[in-house]
């Protein structure tokens, strides 16, 4: 308690205008920024994977399994920031066992469980089943055991079984797309349904969340592909990169349009809250919203990808542009989450003042924990890549054997 | 001869009829008891709460008369003491705001320390046109957004119209704090659960008024039944022009104001 008081006391001096006295403590901090960022990556990576299966985008085949594993790695981490942020994490099971069915947040447990069990794990299992069996046959010791266990001790690799696998993957993908929409759309709804907060309360919120999620997911898989491929000493598939960049570009255009629509709508309706929101955007959020989210995270990458598409240039230069653009997009989307979550709490609900948010380095809500949570999915991904190599050649070599 | 010695069958018949009578007599004693107990069990929630206090028979609300409030902050102090609210100036179940409307149209709003030590008479540079105090507290909304969003149902509305938090079930997610349009909630720094004004439910169920109402020297706070005719609140609602905070949010507050300006939110 002492720590909190010491943290809050100096903030009082930085309040501009009038805020309700209970508002000096900003309740959803960095951890709640990390949460929608991470779930967004899950939904985005999965939707990218679905493009291959549902719409038969063959150029993206090299990233299919990679996207699935990325989605899984991030999904496993997704509930951790929420759990760490609860006042009583030991009671969190109540959200599953005695949920208030009228609460958007209470649905989290079910949406999450559905997405993990019924979608991701199922699709990955059907997708890898044949390979798991084949790998286990050639291996010894622990790896053999792990792969045997992962295949749930199935051994049927007859043409009929494989045909069923393929059908199942397709079916799960078809269920998976709306599920991914649900997963992240619902995160947007948690914010968008708070009528007390004009910065959040918008019917567009779930859709904006969804498209920014797809943007971040595609950019992430692009980055992982561009880092993992040279590390394995392989050549990048330029057609695949170009396709990824194109999809990234298209989805960013949609995302950008939605954000502009939201902006124009707010300014045009010009409701009671417009003055305080204008003060927020031009003041405390100027760097993170105008400079980082809009300029660096949206316009610069859009321009860069457009140039790479329109102009004749060597492949290496193109790769560099894609890489930098995808990196900027990540920073931009993280900033987007920050601007929604923290930005929505920087102004008073009395619409008469602005408050401040200061992160600490240590402590559960601190920078260190959040950075750890952002690194963790990559460690999980490393293990997943080792256990379930998503590379084309590890699949191809087996088919030959 | 035969009569002199009662037969075995007679004896057992006698015993049977004796037992029958006995059972009937006991039943006459017990059955009304069971019936009454069942009746009580149906209303168990009602009689557990207080001595004969039946929540369903009441509906509580509060009226605040802006013209009477002198901004002394006694209510804030009384509330903190009554309800063990941390004394630090970041946690309030009730607080008082001061509005000063200047001649150039600007409005100064403040509530230093929630006004627990009243206000300092610092004169602004511009002439003050109007000035008034607004006590704030949980609006005990009929359509409470906090109740709607609580993922575990720890925040709930009682039959007598008060919104309470069950600290045993609150997981501390703070969604309710985000959903409250009035800034009336906070996370208790020690229990790490959500907190808010309860209308001093522990007092009200004993027939007492909330601590802030008791402490108010000017009777700016009127507490009572919303519907019963004899209630001081009903009189307050009849005799004054009534407004609620943020009516467009359709939260249906049961805290009513009279005499505030449009600057108040």
8 A C-beta contact, residue A335 and residue A289: yes
My answer on whether B38 and B89 are in the same domain is no
Domain coverage including residue B15:
8-42
My answer on whether B20 and B94 are in the same domain is no
Tell whether the model's pLDDT for residue A117 goes beyond 90. Answer: no
Please identify among residues 79-108 of chain B the ones whose CB lies closer than 8 Å to any CB of chain A.
86, 88-92, 95, 97, 107
How many domains, chain B? 2
Minimum CA–CA partner of A106 in chain B: B151
Would you state the structure tokens that stand for residue B171, as one six-digit string?
A: 């997981």
In this structure, what DSSP letter does residue B7 have?
-
Q: Does A93 touch chain B (CB under 8 A)?
A: no
Closest partner residue to A21 (CB to CB) among B90, B145, B249 is B90
Q: Is B228 contained in some domain?
A: yes
Tell which of B91, B111, B171, B263 to mutate to test the A interface (max A CBs under 10 Å).
B171
In this structure, what DSSP letter does residue A115 have?
I
Q: Does A199 touch chain B (CB under 8 A)?
A: no
Please identify among residues 184-213 of chain B the ones whose CB lies closer than 8 Å to any CB of chain A.
184-187, 189-190, 192-193
8 A C-beta contact, residue B66 and residue B184: no
Minimum CA–CA partner of A105 in chain B: B151
Q: What's the distance, Cα to Cα, between the start and end of chain B in Å?
A: 103
Give the predicted TM-score (pTM) of the model: 0.89
The C-alpha atoms of residue B222 and residue B256 are separated, in whole angstroms, by 9
User: Which pLDDT tens digit goes with each residue over A319-366?
Assistant: 999 999 999 999 999 999 999 999 999 999 999 999 999 988 888 888
Chain B residues whose beta carbon lies within 8 Å of the beta carbon of residue A91: 152, 169-171
My answer on whether B235 and B155 are in the same domain is yes
Minimum CA–CA partner of A193 in chain B: B179
Cβ pairs A/B, distance under 8 A: 133
My answer on whether B148 and B17 are in the same domain is no
Question: Angle, nearest 10°, between helix axes A367-387 and A64-77?
Answer: 140
Q: Does B174 touch chain A (CB under 8 A)?
A: yes
User: C-alpha distances in angstroms, A90 versus A99, A384, B188?
Assistant: 15, 29, 17
The C-alpha atoms of residue A189 and residue A206 are separated, in whole angstroms, by 5
Q: Is B47 contained in some domain?
A: no
The C-alpha atoms of residue B255 and residue B261 are separated, in whole angstroms, by 16
Question: Angle, nearest 10°, between helix axes A30-55 and A205-231?
Answer: 80
Cα-Cα-Cα-Cα dihedral sign, residues B220, B226, B229, B234: positive
pLDDT (0 to 100) of residue A400: 41
User: Which pLDDT tens digit goes with each residue over A12-65?
Assistant: 999 999 999 999 999 999 999 999 999 999 999 999 999 888 888 999 999 999
User: C-alpha distances in angstroms, A355 versus A39, A275, B218?
Assistant: 28, 15, 33
My answer on whether B18 and B90 are in the same domain is no
pLDDT (0 to 100) of residue A401: 38
Residue matched to tokens 């009662």 = B6
User: Which pLDDT tens digit goes with each residue over A128-184?
Assistant: 999 999 999 998 999 999 999 999 999 899 999 999 999 999 999 999 998 888 888
Q: Does A96 touch chain B (CB under 8 A)?
A: no
Residue matched to tokens 């349904």 = A193
* B62 sits in which H/E element: strand B60-65
Inter-chain touch A5–B171, beta carbons under 8 Å: no
Q: What's the distance, Cα to Cα, between the start and end of chain A in Å?
A: 64
Residue matched to tokens 């706070």 = B221
8 A C-beta contact, residue B132 and residue B99: yes
8 A C-beta contact, residue A74 and residue A374: no
Chain B residues whose beta carbon lies within 8 Å of the beta carbon of residue A102: 148
Q: Is B263 contained in some domain?
A: no
Task: Tell the burial category of A325 from Cβ atoms under 10 Å away from its Cβ (0-12, 13-18, 19+).
Answer: buried
Please identify among residues 47-76 of chain B the ones whose CB lies closer than 8 Å to any CB of chain A.
none
Low-confidence ranges of chain B (pLDDT < 50): 1
My answer on whether B105 and B169 are in the same domain is yes
Q: Does B180 touch chain A (CB under 8 A)?
A: yes
The C-alpha atoms of residue B66 and residue B258 are separated, in whole angstroms, by 6
The C-alpha atoms of residue B149 and residue A194 are separated, in whole angstroms, by 9
Q: Is B118 contained in some domain?
A: yes
The C-alpha atoms of residue B79 and residue B93 are separated, in whole angstroms, by 7
Task: Tell the burial category of A282 from Cβ atoms under 10 Å away from its Cβ (0-12, 13-18, 19+).
Answer: exposed
* Least reliable range by pLDDT among A11-15, A107-111, A202-206: A107-111
Q: Does A359 touch chain B (CB under 8 A)?
A: no
My answer on whether B91 and B207 are in the same domain is yes
Closest partner residue to A88 (CB to CB) among B88, B182, B192 is B192
Minimum CA–CA partner of B172 in chain A: A87
User: Which pLDDT tens digit goes with each residue over A50-94?
Assistant: 988 888 899 999 999 999 999 999 999 999 999 999 999 999 999
Task: Tell the burial category of A141 from Cβ atoms under 10 Å away from its Cβ (0-12, 13-18, 19+).
Answer: exposed
CATH classification of the domain holding B201:
3.30.70.20
Chain B residues whose beta carbon lies within 8 Å of the beta carbon of residue A197: 178
Alpha helices (H) along A88-204: 94-97, 108-113, 122-138, 141-150, 159-192
Alpha-carbon A53 to chain mean position: 20
Chain B residues whose beta carbon lies within 8 Å of the beta carbon of residue A195: 145, 181, 249
Q: Tell me the shortest Cα–Cα distance from A331 to chain B, in angstroms.
A: 26
Q: Tell me the shortest Cα–Cα distance from B188 to chain A, in angstroms.
A: 9
State percent of chain A over pLDDT 70: 99
Q: Tell me the shortest Cα–Cα distance from A103 to chain B, in angstroms.
A: 4
* CATH pick for A2-18+26-391 out of 1.20.1290.10, 1.20.1630.10, 1.10.510.10, 3.40.50.970: 1.20.1630.10
Closest partner residue to B174 (CB to CB) among A28, A91, A108 is A28
Q: Is B115 contained in some domain?
A: yes
Chain B residues whose beta carbon lies within 8 Å of the beta carbon of residue A100: 150-153
pLDDT (0 to 100) of residue B49: 55
Residues 6+ apart with CB under 8 A from A266: A274, A277
Chain A residues whose beta carbon lies within 8 Å of the beta carbon of residue B89: 12, 21, 24
Q: Which residue has the higher pLDDT, B3 or A296?
A: A296
My answer on whether B38 and B60 are in the same domain is no
Q: Tell me the shortest Cα–Cα distance from B189 to chain A, in angstroms.
A: 6
pLDDT (0 to 100) of residue B30: 75
For chain A, the domains span 2-18+26-391
User: Which pLDDT tens digit goes with each residue over A234-283?
Assistant: 999 999 999 999 999 999 999 999 999 999 999 999 999 999 999 999 99
In this structure, what DSSP letter does residue B208 have?
P
């Amino acid at each position: 308690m002492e720590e909190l008081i010491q943290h809050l006391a100096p903030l009082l001096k930085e309040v501009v205008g009038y805020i309700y006295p209970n508002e000096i403590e900003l309740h959803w901090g960095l951890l709640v920024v990390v949460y929608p960022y991470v779930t967004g990556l899950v939904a985005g990576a999965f939707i990218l994977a679905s493009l291959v299966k549902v719409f038969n985008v063959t150029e993206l085949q090299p990233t299919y399994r990679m996207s699935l594993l990325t989605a899984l790695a991030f999904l496993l981490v997704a509930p951790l920031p929420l759990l760490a942020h609860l006042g009583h994490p030991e009671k969190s099971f109540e959200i599953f066992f005695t949920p208030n069915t009228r609460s958007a947040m209470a649905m989290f447990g079910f949406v999450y469980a559905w997405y993990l069990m019924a979608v991701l794990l199922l699709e990955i299992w059907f997708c890898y089943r044949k390979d798991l069996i084949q790998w286990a046959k050639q291996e010894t010791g622990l790896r053999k055991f792990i792969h045997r266990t992962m295949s749930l001790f199935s051994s049927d690799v007859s043409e009929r079984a494989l045909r069923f696998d393929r059908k199942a993957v397709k079916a799960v993908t078809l269920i998976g797309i709306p599920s991914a929409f649900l997963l992240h759309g619902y995160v947007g709804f948690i914010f968008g349904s708070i009528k007390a907060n004009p910065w959040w309360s918008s019917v567009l919120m779930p859709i904006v969340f969804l498209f920014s999620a797809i943007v971040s997911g595609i950019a992430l898989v692009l980055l992982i592909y561009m880092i993992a491929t040279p590390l394995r000493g392989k050549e990048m598939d330029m057609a695949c990169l170009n396709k990824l960049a194109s999809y990234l570009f298209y989805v960013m255009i949609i995302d950008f349009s939605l954000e502009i629509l939201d902006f124009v709508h707010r300014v045009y309706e010009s409701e009671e809250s417009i003055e305080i929101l204008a003060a927020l955007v031009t003041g405390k959020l100027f760097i993170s919203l105008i400079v980082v989210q809009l300029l660096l995270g949206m316009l610069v990458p859009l321009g860069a990808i457009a140039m790479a598409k329109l102009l004749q240039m060597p492949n290496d230069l193109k790769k560099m542009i894609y890489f930098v653009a995808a990196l900027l997009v990540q920073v931009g989307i993280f900033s987007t989450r920050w601007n929604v979550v923290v930005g929505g709490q920087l102004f008073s609900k009395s619409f008469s003042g602005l408050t401040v948010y200061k992160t600490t380095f240590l402590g559960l809500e601190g920078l260190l924990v959040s950075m750890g949570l952002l690194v963790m999915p990559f460690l999980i991904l490393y293990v997943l890549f080792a256990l379930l190599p998503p590379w084309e050649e590890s699949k191809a070599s087996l088919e030959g054997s | 001869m035969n009569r002199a010695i009662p037969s075995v069958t007679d004896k057992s018949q006698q015993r049977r009829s004796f037992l029958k009578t006995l059972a009937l007599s006991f039943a006459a004693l017990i059955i009304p008891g069971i019936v009454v107990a069942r009746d009580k069990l149906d209303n168990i929630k009602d009689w557990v709460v207080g001595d004969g206090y039946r929540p369903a028979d009441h509906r509580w609300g509060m009226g605040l008369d802006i013209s009477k409030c002198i901004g002394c902050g006694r209510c804030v102090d009384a509330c903190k003491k009554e309800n063990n609210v941390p004394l630090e100036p970041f946690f309030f179940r009730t607080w008082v705001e001061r509005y000063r409307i200047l001649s150039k149209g600007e409005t100064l709003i403040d509530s230093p320390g929630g006004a627990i030590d009243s206000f300092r008479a610092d004169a602004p540079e511009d002439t003050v046109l109007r000035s008034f105090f607004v006590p704030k507290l949980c609006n005990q909304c009929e359509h409470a957004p906090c109740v709607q969003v609580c993922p575990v149902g720890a925040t709930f509305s009682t039959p007598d119209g008060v919104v309470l938090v069950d600290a045993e079930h609150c997981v501390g997610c703070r969604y309710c704090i985000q959903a409250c349009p009035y800034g009336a909630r906070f996370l208790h720094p020690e229990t790490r659960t959500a907190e808010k004004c309860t209308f001093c439910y522990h007092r009200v169920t004993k027939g007492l008024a909330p601590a802030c109402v008791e402490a108010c020297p000017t009777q700016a706070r009127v507490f009572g039944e919303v519907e019963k005719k004899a209630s001081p609140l009903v009189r307050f609602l009849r005799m004054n022009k009534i407004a609620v905070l943020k009516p467009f949010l359709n939260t249906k507050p049961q805290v009513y104001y009279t005499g505030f300006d449009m600057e108040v939110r």
